[in-house]
Chain A
């Protein structure tokens, strides 16, 4: 089927099998391979992209359901010579090793900080109605939908905390 996808500020016309997941459309049809396929079933988070400002698993949605949506992938967050603050912090804190889950971690973290800013609670939030802080525990819980088998969780948390602090100070 014919459809259009708006990715990283660009509109793309595609002719896709309706079965094509958003992830496969990005990777195999648009060449945006930054979004990774780790499990294809919403069980690892490597495919996380930001759609309409929200992080989602792009493997568990059909491309054809996202016509008109604003889609941001890791490529849209920054380039090697122009990294986003989170991307830079991941390098600095070694919040990755093999790098395969990393784009998903970074897309997830980017949107997650927005969720904290909006005051969304999490499963570890003591008081559902109080202000939420970007504490280690809050970050860890909110990032638990992104598996990392190299197990860089300490570096990931450090990187995100640094950016959260910078943003809070800004």
Chain B
């Protein structure tokens, strides 16, 4: 870990000002940043501690949604009675992630900004375009069982590791950020960037911009399911996960909001899939068609080819569960 200057921010304005400096990172939970700094995969020269800022708390918004402070921990968010009642898919996703200890530390803002779990990203002995732009991608032709099948480029096949963000994407969350030019809101749909030829740039955040909150729209209703498929029953990253908010009315799917983890460089959502489902009567054939659309562009890299059928089967099971009881 490289030596750094430690700055404890007293207010958001100071944090944003300090955060705009060269080679500077915000730290809150620190569960991913320090993990990477210890390996010098990330090596900031300055650390701005934002844990003392007034960014905690979960408030109800005027339209019946929730404004979740960036520093709200994953534990508190998962256990919040309003979230459990109105946005259960979010509780479920949070509880499926990491461990009790990590959820007590990890924050809402930080969770969105987790870096990939790609083996080669974590290994300074190996080329990685995300860690060191232009050095190459060792995951291609390497061990890529856990890596992405959608949205990849020849430069990067990393996945986004978050569970929480998958549920938030299914729920249509927005991210509130504060920068030197003021505050703005970004739909989670527009928050992440595909790797293309700049895999080291993962979001649309400008340098120094600080996530201050995540805003959930009013409860989506319907059946809410988060299903995570992984290599052991707990404390493991998703191979594939599906967040689903599905409503059936009069035997037809009235609403389908679906997002996927483990498939792409960002929590994955595909409007075409949802469009194909809405208005239709649930059936295995329909679910299969949805999977066809979702996976039309999917590409395996050898070790992760299995994710294609696994996604198809998991999606079908989730849709079947979401539609059968309510039908």
Give chain A's interface residues, CB within 8 Å of chain B.
Answer: 1, 17-19, 21, 40-42, 45, 48, 54-57, 60-62, 64-65, 108, 111-112, 115, 118-123, 125, 128-129, 140-142, 144-146
Bound CA span A141–B228, Å: 14
Q: How many residues of B contact A (CB 8 A)?
A: 37
Bound CA span A112–B102, Å: 13
User: Which residues of B have CB within 8 Å of A121?
Assistant: 78-79, 84, 91, 95
16 A-B contacts, Cβ less than 8 Å apart?
A: A18-B3, A40-B38, A41-B38, A42-B99, A42-B102, A55-B100, A60-B31, A61-B30, A64-B6, A111-B100, A120-B79, A121-B84, A123-B95, A128-B91, A145-B101, A145-B235
Q: A19-B3, A123-B234 are in contact. Are A57 and B101 (CB under 8 A)?
A: yes
Q: Which of B42-64 contact A (CB under 8 A)?
A: 47, 49, 51
Q: Which of B1-48 contact A (CB under 8 A)?
A: 1, 3-6, 8, 27, 29-31, 34-35, 38, 47
Q: A18-B4, A119-B79 are in contact. Are A62 and B101 (CB under 8 A)?
A: no
Q: How far is the CB of B75 from chain A (nearest CB, A)?
A: 7
Is B101 a contact of A56 with CB atoms below 8 Å?
Answer: yes
Residue B135 at the A interface, CB < 8 A? no
Q: A41-B38, A60-B34, A121-B84 are in contact. Are A145 and B100 (CB under 8 A)?
A: yes
Q: How far is the CB of A113 from chain B (nearest CB, A)?
A: 11
User: Which residues of A have CB within 8 Å of B92?
Assistant: 123, 128
Closest 4 CB pairs of A and B: A145-B99, A144-B234, A18-B6, A123-B95
In the complex, given contacts A65-B30, A122-B95, A128-B84, what are 16 additional A-B residue pairs having Cβ atoms less than 8 angstroms apart? Answer: A18-B5, A18-B6, A41-B35, A42-B35, A45-B99, A55-B101, A57-B101, A64-B6, A108-B100, A108-B101, A128-B88, A128-B91, A145-B98, A145-B101, A145-B234, A146-B99
Q: A65-B27, A121-B91 are in contact. Are A21 and B34 (CB under 8 A)?
A: yes
Is A48 a contact of B101 with CB atoms below 8 Å?
Answer: yes
Bound CA span A122–B91, Å: 9
Is A120 a contact of B78 with CB atoms below 8 Å?
Answer: yes
Residue B105 at the A interface, CB < 8 A? yes
Give chain B's interface residues, CB within 8 Å of chain A.
Answer: 1, 3-6, 8, 27, 29-31, 34-35, 38, 47, 49, 51, 75, 78-79, 81, 84-85, 88, 91-92, 95-96, 98-102, 104-105, 233-235
Is A120 a contact of B235 with CB atoms below 8 Å?
Answer: no
Is B102 a contact of A145 with CB atoms below 8 Å?
Answer: yes
Bound CA span A140–B4, Å: 39
Is A55 a contact of B84 with CB atoms below 8 Å?
Answer: no
User: Which residues of A have CB within 8 Å of B100?
Assistant: 55, 108, 111-112, 115, 142, 145
Is B102 a contact of A57 with CB atoms below 8 Å?
Answer: yes
Is B88 a contact of A42 with CB atoms below 8 Å?
Answer: no
Bound CA span A64–B102, Å: 19
Bound CA span A17–B4, Å: 9
User: Which residues of B have CB within 8 Å of A123?
Assistant: 92, 95-96, 234
Bound CA span A142–B233, Å: 12
Bound CA span A128–B78, Å: 10
Q: How far is the CB of B109 from chain A (nearest CB, A)?
A: 16
Q: Which of chain A's residues has its CB closest to B234's CB?
A: A144
Contact of A42 among B6, B91, B101, B233 (CB under 8 A): B101
Bound CA span A21–B91, Å: 30
User: Which residues of B have CB within 8 Å of A42?
Assistant: 31, 35, 99, 101-102
Q: How far is the CB of B177 from chain A (nearest CB, A)?
A: 22
Q: Which of chain B's residues has its CB closest to A141's CB?
A: B234
Is A144 a contact of B85 with CB atoms below 8 Å?
Answer: no
Bound CA span A1–B47, Å: 14
Is B34 a contact of A62 with CB atoms below 8 Å?
Answer: yes
Is A118 a contact of B79 with CB atoms below 8 Å?
Answer: yes
User: Which residues of A have CB within 8 Å of B31?
Assistant: 42, 57, 60
User: Which residues of A have CB within 8 Å of B104?
Assistant: 54-56
Q: How far is the CB of A116 from chain B (nearest CB, A)?
A: 11
Q: Which of B4, B85, B235 has the most CB of A within 10 A?
A: B235
User: Which residues of A have CB within 8 Å of B3?
Assistant: 17-19
